[in-house]
Amino acid sequence: MSSNRHVVIIGNGIAGVTCARQLRKLDDSVRITLVSGESRYFFSRTALMYVFMGHMKFEHTQPYENWFWEKNRIELKEGWVKSIDFSAKNLHFKSGENLSYDELVIATGSKPNKFGWPGEDLQGVQGLYSKQDLELMEENTSVGVQRAVIVGGGLIGIEMAEMLAYKKIPVTFLVRESGFWRNVLPKEESELVGRHMLEHHIDLRLNEELDEILADPNARVQAVRTKSGEIIPCQFVGLTAGVTPNIDFLRKTQLVVNRGVKVDFGFRTNIANVYSIGDCAEFHEAPAAHRKPVEQVWYTGRMHGETLGYILAGKKVTYQPGVWFNSAKFLDIEYQTYGTVPAKWEEDKISSFYWEHAGGKVAFRMLMDLEGRILGVNNLGLRLRHEFFDQAIREKWEGSKAIAKLDKANFDPEFFAPYFMEIQQAFKSQFGGDIKVFRKTFIQKLFGASV
């Protein structure tokens, strides 16, 4: 690899920053520049809600001290890229500045979806993804908001609902599916989350869609009209019906794009020395069964960046997606998913085990194939170890083996034990098998007493 080459990365989210850091670890001589118009320094996007609620200052969302970048000789360029001259290998900024590159990485992330709703560009109507969105939301909710309407039942939507509730702003939530996040969660999990939202005084409207956003005389939102014809007065509308790759400035170029920038499993585009990673990249085909060509999750962005860092350092590797994983919070209920747990499945091909605590706040689901091998797990309200289920799914354990070893998956034994025993008992009731030995071993280890 040439020692004087210049790698430019557009986007300083988790994918871009991981790529820069990995490349620097492997190549001490390459020049690296991170470009972002959103913020000079990398920050944790999931922490934006805590800034809004006053729990953190924005600078506290930055995982690295400001000196980190200079020490590691990663140059930071703050600015919005207007266009790219791929032939001349040059970036053109909205400011009028230019920046040349030898190799280019496009990691521009996502932007909130808009579907052409009448009134979607009114004042007081917005999505939530970027630092600028956070600042706009602080401005839009500072005074005079008696009610907010959120459109779309995803993870960003429930974050926004929690942020608004913190400011004592009542929220009406329009969800077109029959349950919250029902296109992702199985019925029981969706219902658990829906009940929890109602308990937190969120006005959850299922099977309801936005028709139009209505303006006041000052071109600011004053109400929404639903598909059923109801008019809901409001002064803020959150558009949280998913995100889409942020690549509009690339659409009329020689770069091949579809929903995202088209790449192979080495993140190469159709143009030599141009790569794409993270939310804005789209594989030519899904990287694994039950995966999508566009992967818009924090941990996959990190894996993309790490893999491309190796490739740019001259290592002959390709993307190995591993076992699917995601985590989130539904208000104060933690959620983790491992492997394959679709919203629906064919009953004659997949066996499902589901347990829910009597309190209705904690649940565990395991899907298995007809041979009893674990396919995927959902858990809500308790935290389990990622590495445990990653190993169990990779090694195709039988579900009974994973249930028997659940003590290996816990973080907090004193809180976990009752759930552990109930899950095992429910599994035994549904599928049979002797779990007494495993339970006795666990209790002895936990309490140091004979049972």
Sort 200 into a burial class: Cβ within 10 Å, 0-12 / 13-18 / 19+.
middle
Beta carbons within 8 Å of 334's beta carbon, 6+ residues apart: 327, 328, 380, 381, 382, 383
| Domains 6-111+244-312 and 325-447 fall in the same CATH topology | no
What is the CATH topology of the domain spanning 125-241? FAD/NAD(P)-binding domain (3.50.50)
CB-based contact 239:128 (threshold 8 Å): no
- In this predicted structure, the answer to whether residue 68 has a pLDDT above a threshold of 90 is yes
- In this predicted structure, the answer to whether residue 148 has a pLDDT above a threshold of 90 is yes
Q: What is the pLDDT of residues 423-449, one digit of tens each?
A: 999 999 998 765 444 444 434 444 454
Q: What pLDDT was estimated at residue 220?
A: 97
Backbone angles phi, psi at 304, to 5 degrees: -55, -50
Backbone angles phi, psi at 199, to 5 degrees: -65, -25
- In this predicted structure, the answer to whether residue 408 has a pLDDT above a threshold of 90 is no
Length of the chain, in residues: 451
Give the residue-averaged pLDDT of 274-298: 94
> CATH says 325-447 is which class?
alpha beta
Choose the CATH number for 6-111+244-312 among 3.50.50.60, 3.40.630.30, 3.30.70.3450, 3.40.50.510.
Answer: 3.50.50.60
- What token pair was written down for 352? 């499902």
Give the residue-averaged pLDDT of 375-390: 93
Per domain, the residue ranges of the chain are: 6-111+244-312, 125-241, 325-447
CB-based contact 251:81 (threshold 8 Å): no
Q: What is the pLDDT of residues 89-125, one digit of tens each?
A: 999 999 999 999 999 999 999 999 889 999 999 999 9
Give the residue-averaged pLDDT of 211-233: 97
